[in-house]
Structure 1
Amino acid sequence: MMNNDFISVTNGILEIINKWEIPLQNLSDDIITKRLNKQNRTIKQILGHLVDSASNNHQRMVRLQYNSDLAFPDYRQDNDRWIAIQNYQDSNWNNLIQLWKYFNLHIIHVIQNTDKDMLQNCWHDFEGTRVTLEQMIYGYLDHLNLHINEIKDLINK
């Protein structure tokens, strides 16, 4: 059964995908590999980080639907390590865009099918902060917007 409680989140994710897929594909290699944000990341690395975010949040969103108190690793303190290990800087740009797009389309599907009775199940981040499934879902769009805005700033630099 579809959960429409998060329609603003799922519509927001879809809007970002639809707005950014083609413009991302049209960026030059210089723009995606040489311009750096304040964390010293390129556009390629930021998009790779968004794939990592989708991957980790997907796992949490699914696992929180059958665990009321989830013990699952946080990777926030290791973001740069994840980016380096996967070498997003040298990855195929079009493949990376498609991975980002389709992972987020699947996240939309997961959110739409989230069990309402599980929304207060929680995960604890590496600092010990309690995060409910509901908070995680809303926070996902905020995080996506944060990094899309960084990409936008780098394009306009």
Structure 2
Amino acid sequence: MAFQTMAEELKELVVRWAGILESLPPETIADRRNSQDRSIRQIIGHMVDSATNNTHRVVHLQYRESPVEFPNYATYGNNDRWIAIQNYQEEDWQLLVNHWKFTHLHFCHVIRNINVEKLGQQWIADTNQFVSLKDMVEDFPGHFELHIAEIEELINLK
């Protein structure tokens, strides 16, 4: 199974949303907060972290012995630490949007080129929790869309 269609759909979303994000006023991206107390800036930063971590997982899972030990940045509040340490709240907005855009476009390229013989390779996501390369990649669009929905909700707050 190739991920061509998934990559193309994700690419279209990224390109469309990059334009939307670039046009948002400063107070919308910085001041409004979701249920996790994240601003749009911080959500975008988290999405960068997710795409870069998943890119590394995809690469490692294609050449290392399975199951792969790889840090799960998303558990135990670590993703919030990543957001705070990188201070996405203060990063130049154009730079951050471009970083988000190109990180995701690169991830689309990476998933288009997955060796299908490696889809069963697993990484250790948590204690006694194993995730295959196939499942990880198939779950990515849902995670992406979840955060886009959060951003959309924050944009539409009056």
Fold-level similarity (TM above 0.5)? yes
**Equivalent AA in structure 2 for residue 40 of structure 1:** D
Instruction: Give the CA deviation at 1:8.
Output: 3.0
Instruction: Give the CA deviation at 1:122.
Output: 0.3
**Equivalent AA in structure 1 for residue 4 of structure 2:** I
Contact 1:122–1:133 at 8 Å: present in 2 too?
yes
Supply the distance in 2 between the matched residues of 1:88 and 1:12 (Cα, whole angstroms).
Answer: 26
Q: Which runs of 5+ in 2 are unaligned?
A: none
The corresponding residue for 1:60 is 57
1:129 and 2:129 matched: yes
The number of residues matched between the two structures is 154
Normalising by the residue count of structure 2, what TM-score does the alignment of the two structures yield? 0.94
Deviates most, 11-20 or 94-103: 11-20
The corresponding residue for 1:151 is 151
1:9 and 2:6 matched: yes
The corresponding residue for 2:116 is 116
Out of 67, 70, 93, the residue aligned to residue 68 of structure 2 is 70
Q: Which runs of 5+ in 1 are unaligned?
A: none
Runs of at least 4 residues off by over 6 Å: none
Contact 1:12–1:141 at 8 Å: present in 2 too?
no
Contact 2:2–2:114 at 8 Å: present in 1 too?
no
Normalising by the residue count of structure 1, what TM-score does the alignment of the two structures yield? 0.94
**Equivalent AA in structure 1 for residue 144 of structure 2:** L
For residues 6-51 of structure 1, give each alpha carbon's deviation from its aligned partner in whole angstroms, at most 9, with x where no partner exists: 1232022112112111110010110000000000000000000000
User: Superposition pairs for residues 65-104 of structure 1, below 5 Å?
Assistant: 65-67=62-64, 68-77=66-75, 78-104=78-104
For residues 72-124 of structure 1, give each alpha carbon's deviation from its aligned partner in whole angstroms, at most 9, with x where no partner exists: 00011211100000000000001011011111111111111100100000011
Supply the distance in 2 between the matched residues of 1:109 and 1:25 (Cα, whole angstroms).
Answer: 23
**Equivalent AA in structure 2 for residue 34 of structure 1:** D
